[in-house]
Structure 1
Amino acid sequence: MATKPKLNLNALIAAPVNPDELLLTPAFSSSPTTPEPEAVGPTPQKIRFTNTLPTELFQQLHQLSFWSREDMSAILEAALIDYFALRPDSQKELPHKEKVKRKLL
């Protein structure tokens, strides 16, 4: 019968702590050392979708993402916002029947 290897549980335990440090050190500092987080509005809802791009555009998107240190989704979002600003039809609401057909409801 094979014996199970012994686990080295001592390696999982942190270095011994002085009990006085645990009892006498305050759990939190009364003086603010870090600024309070600013009130931020709700995060906009995002939808994941699949699409296709020409190979050159996809490569350029990756290159810009790398060199500008931006997420590809942020680049696409900015590009679409600029594009939609030039296209007034993008502001027209779809008819109800079309919304249902496109699963937007």
Structure 2
Amino acid sequence: MDYVKDIRSDEIIVQCESPSLRKALELPGTVIDEVAVVPFRDWSELAALLTWLQSLEVPFLDAGPGWTPAAVFQLMREEGLVSGLISGIFWSGPGIPKLRKI
């Protein structure tokens, strides 16, 4: 399953199991395996990367403690840095992912 797993202070963590997403994530500075680490320098660059991931229709994790990637996207949308809807992903049980538009 592909999804934005975490957003840290200077990098986005993307779970990327599909070869097509791995290929798309071949950016300078990106470490790619089943988990890609995509660095960013500031909120403007983060906004651009999140918008790009949104355009690729990569779901954003919407469950767990703290600021989930979906919550970060929603905050940035409220501040006018990104726009539109994303798919939030959570699990209703082991191996049972659920998607919802946020």
Shared fold (TM-score greater than 0.5)? no
TM-score (norm. length: structure 2): 0.20
Decide which structure has greater helix share. Answer: 1
Q: Which has the higher contact order (CA 8 A, sep 6+)?
A: 2
- Greater C-alpha radius of gyration: 1
